[in-house]
Structure 1
Amino acid sequence: MTDTSETRSTDGAEGRAEPTVLHRVMRFLPLVAPVLLWALPCWVLLHTGQRWPEPVAWGGTALFALGLVGMPLAMARGHGRRQQDRAAVVGDSLLGAVWVLFTWSVLLGALLRLALFAAGVGDGQTRARIVTWAVLGVSAVLLAWGYAEARRLPRVRRLDVRLPRLGAGLDGTRVVLITDTHYGPLDRADWSARVCETVNTLEADLVCHTGDIADGTAERRRAQAAPLGTVQATRARVYVTGNHEYYSEAQGWVDLMDELGWEPLRNRHVLLERGGDTLVVAGVDDVTAESSGLAGHRAHLAGALEGADPDLPVLLLAHQPKFVDRAAAGGVDLQLSGHTHGGQIWPFHHLVKLDQPALAGLSRHGERTLLYTSRGTGFWGPPFRVFAPSEITLLVLRSPERSTSP
């Protein structure tokens, strides 16, 4: 692997991220969302005809009110200036739990009530109580399953990716992608070590990490990230920043990954040579980098590809899938991204689609460019994954002229 370009530090329009519909909506969510998330399930489960005994009705309402007040306070203490990990775990867990409860209060509550009415089951109170127990039961099962899914060792997802410009000597090149490990308030050092052990069983030529390593500074999360230093690849280990690095001293993470033996591709590229053919492996900073105010950080595709032979195939690392528009315009063959978590907790999937062109898997953009979006290796915030399993991805690159290489 040979380095052929340097990081570009000049500012420019290419690194600026335009506000999206989701970003505009998100501005108002901190004011409205907590009230809706807690008030609607409270109303559906306790006050829509159930006629619970007063101690049950008032006690349940008090619990929801406590959640409404306690969740923002815990998240502020956990993710604000104090950075208290225990408070963050409490706040994040409450957020995940109430999101699931809210979702199924709306969906299952309305559908089941209508079905029971149409079937003539019981009176209004009976139907209301059936809805309450059904919503609570489904939510409890999904949260237990979602917690187990979030904390488990990710499954390995394998797929062949055919690149028309890939030389025959590169056929069979094994690229392993991990992303969005999000080391954070829950200590996952053991989980991190097991992820790296799994990666090492895949006999990768190239291992990529497309950002969002952790929530917190490199100094604070070093123990959880340290196993990344054990990852093995026959050619190289490469890394690009995600948006969460820019919430917690991004340069510290770049320096730590370099210390651990990974090659930070900050708007630059390296060459992967195999069987007499060459692949350009490029990387860009996250699209939020320029707005972070950190000198020299921005997403600059032209800088990443400067000096590269335009006839060579290009594999690009970019944290967010929405960078693919620029990648397609720049002639990139394959972009690897993360960021979406596959939605993490359904139906948040649909909100992610407002912001990103792809949720998960392989998609085509323009005539040449393929995008692979990982559902992520870890999880952010709420320790739950519902209908969005984590993954370690093995992509086997295929040439149109298949060689005999393994």
Structure 2
Amino acid sequence: MATTEAVPGAAVRRRSLLRPLVFAATITLVLALLFGVPWWSLVMAGNQWPGVVQVLGTVVFGLALVVFPVTMFLGHGRGVDWAARTGDTILGAVWILFVWALAGDLLRLALLAGGVDDPVRSRVAAASTAVVALGLGIWGYREAMRIPRVRRVEVRIPRLGAGLDGLRVVLLTDTHYGPIDRAAWSRGVTEVVNRLDADIVAHTGDIADGTVAQRTGQAAPLADVRARLARVYVTGNHEYFGEADGWLGHMRTLGWEPLHNRHLVVERGGDRLVVAGVDDRTAAGSGLEGHRADHALALDGADPQLPVLLLAHQPKQIDAAVTHGVDLQLSGHTHGGQIWPFHYLVRVDQPVVQGLTRHGARTQLFTSRGTGFWGPPFRVFAPSEITELTLRAGE
């Protein structure tokens, strides 16, 4: 009786062939929904617009659908800034339209239940969607491009010495210097930070999208940031899309202390605080030698009796902070969702979207909504922030 042996590696080869097909199918479905839902709601459905309106609307959505992946590839794959600006703006606009087209469809159902017939029913829903989306787009753009407001938070740390009571830490994160030249914005952020007269200024990563050479001008104002005790920085995941070592070195030339799995100790009024930092959790997969989130290395040699302030880009890194007895972790990464209701998807990946939370008996986590923005130049119901944290001693 003949037997058939499985060819070694055949299953692996089949899976490797399937992955790009599954990925392509997923992307196609997502794009079809993102562009198709608002197209149907605004242009087609039961609106009964004149033929020329339907043709023009279809052409606009069709061109956007074709241009979007091309500009995203050129912009974020090849580093072409004009393409990135175009693709990012289309992404933000179509997301806002998609969300509010769904809301418009709910309005259409409500009008149907109320006995309103087409085309009035669908035209009211389409007009409402267009007005709300346009208003939120304009407002969201202004929110993204403005100098962030200061968010003030008080954090009580039982192990903090009396001499450090009232220590002020200013947190910047996710500045994302990128395809839109925001050098003037960066100078404005520095001016706000300096008015706060902080003891420590921290930057928890995603400093830029691009190389140091591309974003030198936008990052330059960071050299003028003032702090009484320390200016400290850790990498975010976007540094590993560009040149993490380059940004670590450049921040050092700007006068900041890169906490590349290391710590320093600050002292005031006879009491001391360990300020530590770890690489982003994606660093280990970057292929860069010596890059990984290593809490043990970061705290190596630190006095275990001293309170610890830890910089770690992602809230998801909190479990290791709890294990290593950290008192307060500062993070960013989430952008607070950036464009509502994206924060629900962020929450699937991260334990916290924004704000101060407690984890375990000792450890607290503060997650910033971010100082800048990534990609789409919009912020909707997720305002940017410069955070001033005042540390308080005692229970």
TM-score (norm 2): 0.93
Do 2:41 and 2:105's aligned partners in 1 also have CA atoms closer than 8 Å? no
Matched with 1:116 is: 111
Q: 2:34 aligns with which of 32, 37, 42?
A: 37
Secondary structure at the aligned position of 1:395 is classed as strand
**1:348-381, Cα deviation, whole Å (9 max, x unpaired):** 1000000000000100111111000000000000
Give the 3 Å change call, closer, same or farther, for CA 175–29 of structure 1 in structure 2. Answer: farther
Note if 1:291 corresponds to 2:288: no
Task: Provide the rounded CA distance (Å) in 1 between the counterparts of 2:147 and 2:158.
Answer: 34
**Letter of the aligned partner of 1:97 in structure 2?**
A
Shift of 1:51: 1.1
Q: Which residue of 2 aligns with 1:102?
A: 98
2:383 alignment partner, one of 380, 389, 397? 389
Query: For 2:343 and 2:188, how far apart are their aligned partners in 1?
Result: 28
Which residue of structure 2 lines up, in the alignment, with residue 361 of structure 1?
Answer: 355
RMSD over aligned Cα atoms: 1.3
Map of 1:276 onto structure 2: 270
CA deviation vs aligned residue, 1:272-307 (integer Å, no higher than 9, x gap): 111111111000000000100011111000000011
Select 1:56's aligned residue among 53, 57, 78: 53
Specify which structure has the bigger relative contact order, considering alpha-carbon pairs within 8 angstroms and separated by 6 or more residues: 1
Kindly report which structure 2 residues correspond to 1:195-344, keeping only aligned pairs within 5 A, or say none.
195-344=189-338
One-letter code aligned to 1:343: G
Shift in Å, 1:40? 1.2
Change (3 A) 1:301 1:201: same
Contact 2:265 2:274 in 1 (8 A): yes
Aligned-partner residue type, residue 258 of structure 1: R
How far residue 47 of structure 1 moved from its aligned partner, in angstroms, is 1.8
In structure 2, the residue matched to 1:167 is: 161
Q: 1:28 to 1:303 in 2, by over 3 A?
A: farther
CA distance in 1, matches of 2:49, 2:265: 68
Whole-angstrom distance in 1 between the partners of 2:153 and 2:77: 40
> How many residues get paired?
374
- Residue 125 of structure 2 corresponds to 131
Task: Report the Cα distance in structure 1 between the residues aligned to 2:23 and 2:345, rounded to whole angstroms.
Answer: 10
- Give 5+ residue unaligned stretches, structure 2: 1-21
Q: Which residue pairs with 1:93 in the alignment?
A: 89
Q: Rg bigger for which structure?
A: 2
What is the CA–CA distance in structure 1 between the aligned matches of 2:356 and 2:196, rounded to whole Å?
20
The alignment partner of 1:124 has SS state of coil
Report if aligned partners of 2:273, 2:309 keep a CA contact under 8 Å in 1. Answer: yes
> 1:118, CA displacement in angstroms?
2.6
The Cα shift of 1:84 comes to 1.4
Contact 2:232/2:256, CA 8 A, preserved across alignment: yes
1:35 to partner: Cα distance: 1.7
Offset of residue 311 of structure 1: 1.1
User: Hey, what does 1:8 align to over in structure 2?
Assistant: none
- AA of the residue aligned to 1:59: L
Supply the AA of the counterpart residue of 2:109.
L
TM-superposition CA deviations, 1:243-267 (whole Å, max 9, x none): 0000001100000000000000000
- Confirm whether residue 345 of structure 1 aligns to residue 342 of structure 2: no
Using the alignment, how far apart are the partners of 2:43 and 2:249 within structure 1? 53
CA deviation after TM superposition for structure 1 residue 30, in Å: 3.1
Q: TM-score, normalised by structure 1?
A: 0.90
Residue-by-residue CA offset, 1:149-195 (whole Å, 9 max, x unaligned): 00001000011100011111110000000000000000000000010
State the alpha-carbon separation in 2 of the partners of residues 27 and 288 from structure 1: 24
Aligned-partner Cα distance in 1 for 2:279–2:80: 29
- Aligned equivalents of 1:350, 1:241: Cα separation in 2: 25
Structure 1: 5+ residue stretches without partners: 1-24, 402-406
Give distance in 2, aligned partners of 1:313 and 1:193.
33
Question: Are the counterparts in 1 of residues 276 and 311 from structure 2 also a CA contact under 8 Å?
Answer: yes
- What is the SS of the residue equivalent to 2:232? strand
Q: Does 1:46 align with 2:40?
A: no
TM-superposed CA distance for 1:330, in Å, is 1.0
Query: What is the CA–CA distance in structure 1 between the aligned matches of 2:314 and 2:129, rounded to whole Å?
Result: 35
Match of 1:19 in 2: none
